[in-house]
Structure 1
Amino acid sequence: MSKGTIKKVAGPLVIASGMRDANMFDVVRVSDERLIGEIIEIHGDEASIQVYEETSGLGPGEPVESMDVPLSVELGPGLLTSIYDGIQRPLDDIMKETGSNNLKRGVEVPSLKRDKKWQFVPTVKAGDSVEAGDIIGTVQETLIIEHKIMVPYGVKGTVKEIKSGEFTVEETVAVIETENGEKELTMMQKWPVRRGRPYQTKLPPVKPLITGQRVVDAFFPIAKGGVAAVPGPFGSGKTVIQHQLAKWAEADIVVYIGCGERGNEMTDVLNEFPELKDPKTGHSLMQRTVLIANTSDMPVAAREASIYTGITIAEYFRDMGYSVALMADSTSRWAEALREMSGRLEEMPGEEGYPAYLGSRLAQFYERAGHVICLGRDGREGALSAIGAVSPPGGDISEPVSQATLRIVKVFWGLDSALAYKRHFPAINWLTSYSLYVDNLGKWFDENVSDEWMSCRQGLMSLLQEEAELEEIVKMVGMDALSPIDRLKMEAARSIREDFLHQNSFHEIDTYTPLQKQFRMMKLVLAFYEQSKKALEGGASIQNLIKMPVREQIGRFKYTKAEDVEKEYQAVLDELAKEVADAAGKGAF
């Protein structure tokens, strides 16, 4: 172990001398209080250390000790339902041990409980050959998730002994005979957070991550294994969207990282998630969730680690063959931590004071998402989808973090404060948002929902774009100056906005919309437009068409229960045809 002494303290940055034998990214213990830190720069025998705890009271001459291992996370049974801080310290256990609501300095508590026993069920037998990624046994971690115990990376050989029964995460459950001798395996692995976990092959993004949120699934879908950014100003609903996706997205596991968020917001998440019922199983959503809470009042350097801690845990569950959704809220606060550390290291600042490597660090994070064939001989597939919120100051997305993120991600859900003020939620702006997965996913939607899905989507998008152009005319000369067909376009677009895109996350039916129902909703709005257009050409009055009572039924269709969708859809279509015929019969006046 390399031992040195503190030479300088500058906030979370500590410079230590006598560290010639240490390596980059080694974990170190600083001072007699054994504060945890990580080496981020080395000059000769001087090491710059970012300390993940409060450094007040430290002074020159105090000891520094390198642990000769990189910052790593513990991976094994017990991760789910846990609440960790940015460096995987279990907040519940720390509170029980210290009796304090605030994190005390120098506390050392293992990330996974050492005394809890888990029921290990072997899936291999003595004499079987195994390699990295192969599953040797399972543990029922929660009521809904089976934890698969895998052979660690770099281990290959023959099973000499495999056990069955109850064990802690540190007890040996298997012995593997390798070329270099016997290797004892426990249910726990360690993995350095800054290194992506390996896989066999990355697959193209051709399956959507179904979320049940209409503006996302129909207009701006994200692929399984895709990456999305949610930039938006204060109060536009970033956190609510991430809650909705965590609850409803077709993911087996959710990893939620609260990175530098306000303490009260994080408290809401911690209180709400255990109470939220998982719609698929009826159990608590926490049964398939890992929470990483790193609030804005915690030491700033720990924010930098929290993102990597979260994605490493997510990759571990991906390697088991699960679909994982990672929510990072928000990457702007993480970038601010990078900026602070860069400033203290006296590096040359880039744009707006952010370090020059901001873009590459963001890319390293987002590129760890993907739909992959995992290690192991069974060829199982796993997916890790990353959704990062961005909080640009004043909602200005021309700032560096938003721009660097947009260069990497393929889905942009731009939140609009104007829509939020109008109480239109989700406040995703349909004119500025985009998804580059649409062409790849279109085939899946056409094959699995309806071959008209993409044409319906295009029809709705065209009406919304035409509405935006007509809005300019209306502002100048008023609605009465528009031709009847343009008035109809405006009405159809209003129906898309209010009846289709507006979704109530607190309504028990409207909070989630299956794809078939979304398709029926799109068809109804387009049917109103197409049939009214024909009636207009036949001499019908635009006033009569706008005032048709059936429009109320189209608007209320989103509250229809899933089992009644087909019957109600047909009833509304029949009523629409009848009322349009009536309006056409009355003619113009």
Structure 2
Amino acid sequence: MTNTGTISGINGPVIYLKGDPGFRMNEMVHVGEDHLVGEVIGLTDRRTIVQVYEETSGIKPGETVTSTGFPVSVTLAPGILNNIFDGIERPLSEIAKTGRAYIDRGIHVDSLDTKKLWQTHITVKKGDRLLPGAIIAEVPETPAIVHKVMIPPDVEGTVLDVVEDGSYTISDPIITLKLTDGTQKQLTMTQKWPIRVPRPTLKRYPATKPLITGQRIIDTLFPLAKGGTACIPGGFGTGKTMTQHQIAKWSDADIIIYIGCGERGNEMTQVLEEFSQLIDPRSGNPLMDRTTLIANTSNMPVAAREASLYSGLTLAEYYRDMGYHVAIMADSTSRWAEALRELSGRLEEMPAEEGFPAYLASRLSAFYERAGMMQNINGTEGSVTIIGAVSPQGGDFSEPVTQNTKRFVRCFWGLDRNLANERHFPAIHWLSSYSEYLTDLAPWYLEKVDKKFVDYRNRMVFILTQESSLMEIVKLIGGDMLPDDQKLILEIAKVIRIGFLQQNAFHKDDTCVPMEKQFKMMDLILYLYKKSRSLVSMGMPMSVLKEDPVFDKIISLKYDVPNDRLDMFDDYKKQIDNFYDSVIERNA
């Protein structure tokens, strides 16, 4: 039965209906003559409140709102990857075919292509007993990803009939089930799932494996676990989007979901163009073969911006249920929070700090809580890793979105304006950043990389911390007044900062560095520190040590040593030994 209501008031994207027309909370509705997409967000016996995901200009009181009978949902089937959607899963490529520069109000297109034929391999047979989430077919969605068609999480039964392997659309019935209540149900490749409801799982695993990104400051100093949560806060121009691009391209996640939430139109255009041109280093195919983009620019309605994060998250959970490791790049959660603030203001709710609604923290926690390494209901294991960019106004990390985000993420990569101005990228500052996953991931590093890995990492962080303390003294009395052992710390810290933490995204060997090379670089830098400290303890002044070019050679080894020639590190150790011996001989 379709329920209808009458508009009694309009306030931007929020509309009010008289009385109780029988709608349900979070139900999807169609508003006015143009059938704009909306969602029920408030119900009383006197009025119903709907937020509209499209521009409401021209809507007037007295127009009709019609229920759909189901909540705001996304369509889940082959065709999601290598696609670009808006905040409510409308494909921009199909909308572009209308020939208009902007998205028309009330435009209705299928989320996925219902006419395309997919080569389908059926994995079940007649008589099989299927539990919720069972995989019933496999479809090569792209050259990189095999789409595993699953039965919905709320369905189970016995296979009565099944089609042969062949080409089918996402709307064609492929199996017939006899449900537990005795009824029959035909299943297609398509599922619908409410965006605000997490997909069910059997078990959440603790963090045990890192998401390897190839970025040294992340993998070595502040690692992120698969199924973990991280935030990248930073002001305009500090490199949030660039850092997310590098992680998207080089991380060992199987699938990337990039959510452009409220970003400027020109930035979003650049993202779409760049992602379309990126080549997957694993396969040599386009990176879009395992990527989905959700583009919701700042001039689009705020309600759709608020929904875009949940749409992307639901797509990620769907691929996690197939057994894939999915990484979400949310850029940025600050714009999402601003959409919450605007909607809250329209609803005349009591504002909290800086005008944000009082439920900002609970919404952020609910979003990040949907990350995790999971055992799915079909027995497979998969993960959703969330990396959210935060854009604090003026780079102020004390504002509510950054502070509340820090409460719910375990990895904090703070971007620094001064580092960005110095062209030090990634501009993640080693003193303001942290990772709570280090202890959880230590056994993996000790087993897969080297037993000394965590110790070396801690020693490097300690040197950088010492440098920070010494720089306060240098500002007061100058560097020449420091004793030689402290001058050495400043010199080694410089080698760490420039030679290890700074990375060149445009250099073929430095853009992505394997873990083995990262460890060998740490080992070599600390070996140089050990030998130099030994010389200083013998009374050698730093001025003598700096006459040798060995420090500059260690800084430039990130370019000079190819990723497939790690044997060259032995030669560098010999050069350090020769440097040590020559200094002693010259000053004997």
Task: With the length of structure 1 as denominator, give the TM-score of the two structures.
Answer: 0.98
Query: Percent of aligned positions with the same letter in both sequences?
Result: 50
1:582 aligns with 2:582: yes
Residues 352-501 of structure 1: pairs in structure 2 closer than 5 A: 352-376=354-378, 379-501=379-501
Residues 89-488 of structure 1: pairs in structure 2 closer than 5 A: 89-96=90-97, 98-163=98-163, 164-180=165-181, 181-376=183-378, 379-488=379-488
CA contact under 8 A between 1:539 and 1:587: conserved in structure 2?
no
Q: Which residue matches 2:50?
A: 49
* Counterpart code for 2:178: E
Q: Which residue matches 2:77?
A: 76
**Moved >4 Å (runs of 4+):** none
Aligned residue for 1:120, secondary structure, equals strand
CA deviation after TM superposition for structure 1 residue 255, in Å: 0.1
CA contact under 8 A between 2:19 and 2:44: conserved in structure 1?
no
* Counterpart code for 2:499: D
CA deviation after TM superposition for structure 1 residue 18, in Å: 4.4
Residues 493-512 of structure 1: pairs in structure 2 closer than 5 A: 493-512=493-512
Q: Distance in 2 between matches of 1:43 and 1:397?
A: 39
Q: Distance in 2 between matches of 1:490 and 1:463?
A: 8
CA contact under 8 A between 2:129 and 2:159: conserved in structure 1?
yes
Q: Distance in 1 between matches of 2:20 and 2:523?
A: 68
Residues 35-46 of structure 1: pairs in structure 2 closer than 5 A: 35-46=36-47
Q: Distance in 2 between matches of 1:308 and 1:15?
A: 24
Aligned residue for 2:201, secondary structure, equals coil
CA deviation after TM superposition for structure 1 residue 435, in Å: 0.2
* Counterpart code for 2:101: N
Q: Distance in 2 between matches of 1:19 and 1:175?
A: 39
CA contact under 8 A between 2:239 and 2:426: conserved in structure 1?
yes
CA deviation after TM superposition for structure 1 residue 45, in Å: 4.3
Q: Distance in 1 between matches of 2:222 and 2:467?
A: 19
* Counterpart code for 1:332: S
* Counterpart code for 1:582: S
Q: List per-residue Cα deviations over 1:92-131 (Å, max 9, x = no partner).
A: 00111x2112100000101011111111101111111111
Q: Distance in 2 between matches of 1:140 and 1:332?
A: 36
Q: Which residue matches 2:88?
A: 87
Q: Distance in 2 between matches of 1:399 and 1:269?
A: 27
Q: Which residue matches 1:569?
A: 569
Q: List per-residue Cα deviations over 1:325-354 (Å, max 9, x = no partner).
A: 000000000000000000010111111110
* Counterpart code for 1:155: V
Q: Distance in 2 between matches of 1:538 and 1:127?
A: 82
CA deviation after TM superposition for structure 1 residue 563, in Å: 1.8
1:5 aligns with 2:6: yes
Q: Distance in 2 between matches of 1:561 and 1:433?
A: 29
CA deviation after TM superposition for structure 1 residue 539, in Å: 2.6
Q: Which residue matches 1:16?
A: 17
CA deviation after TM superposition for structure 1 residue 561, in Å: 1.3
CA deviation after TM superposition for structure 1 residue 278, in Å: 0.2
Aligned residue for 1:564, secondary structure, equals coil
CA deviation after TM superposition for structure 1 residue 552, in Å: 2.5
Q: Aligned in 2, Cα 1:85/1:53: closer, same or farther, shift over 3 Å?
A: same
Q: Aligned in 2, Cα 1:464/1:522: closer, same or farther, shift over 3 Å?
A: same
Q: Distance in 1 between matches of 2:457 and 2:169?
A: 52
CA contact under 8 A between 1:535 and 1:581: conserved in structure 2?
no
Q: Distance in 1 between matches of 2:343 and 2:119?
A: 44
CA contact under 8 A between 2:72 and 2:195: conserved in structure 1?
yes
Q: Distance in 2 between matches of 1:476 and 1:371?
A: 49
CA contact under 8 A between 1:3 and 1:19: conserved in structure 2?
no
Aligned residue for 1:563, secondary structure, equals coil
Q: List per-residue Cα deviations over 1:255-285 (Å, max 9, x = no partner).
A: 0000000001110111111110000010000
CA deviation after TM superposition for structure 1 residue 185, in Å: 0.7
Q: Distance in 1 between matches of 2:230 and 2:270?
A: 24
CA contact under 8 A between 2:4 and 2:21: conserved in structure 1?
no
Q: Distance in 1 between matches of 2:153 and 2:411?
A: 32
CA contact under 8 A between 1:541 and 1:584: conserved in structure 2?
no
* Counterpart code for 2:140: Q
CA contact under 8 A between 1:6 and 1:59: conserved in structure 2?
yes
Q: Distance in 1 between matches of 2:235 and 2:507?
A: 25
CA contact under 8 A between 1:524 and 1:573: conserved in structure 2?
yes
Segments of 5+ residues of structure 2 without an aligned counterpart are: none
Number of residue pairs matched by the alignment: 584
Q: List per-residue Cα deviations over 1:529-554 (Å, max 9, x = no partner).
A: 11000111123231121232222321
CA deviation after TM superposition for structure 1 residue 159, in Å: 1.2
Q: Distance in 1 between matches of 2:218 and 2:372?
A: 19
CA contact under 8 A between 2:20 and 2:44: conserved in structure 1?
no
Segments of 5+ residues of structure 1 without an aligned counterpart are: none
CA deviation after TM superposition for structure 1 residue 299, in Å: 0.9
Task: With the length of structure 2 as denominator, give the TM-score of the two structures.
Answer: 0.98
CA deviation after TM superposition for structure 1 residue 249, in Å: 0.7
Q: Distance in 2 between matches of 1:117 and 1:545?
A: 69
Q: Distance in 2 between matches of 1:552 and 1:546?
A: 9
CA deviation after TM superposition for structure 1 residue 586, in Å: 2.5
Aligned residue for 2:564, secondary structure, equals helix
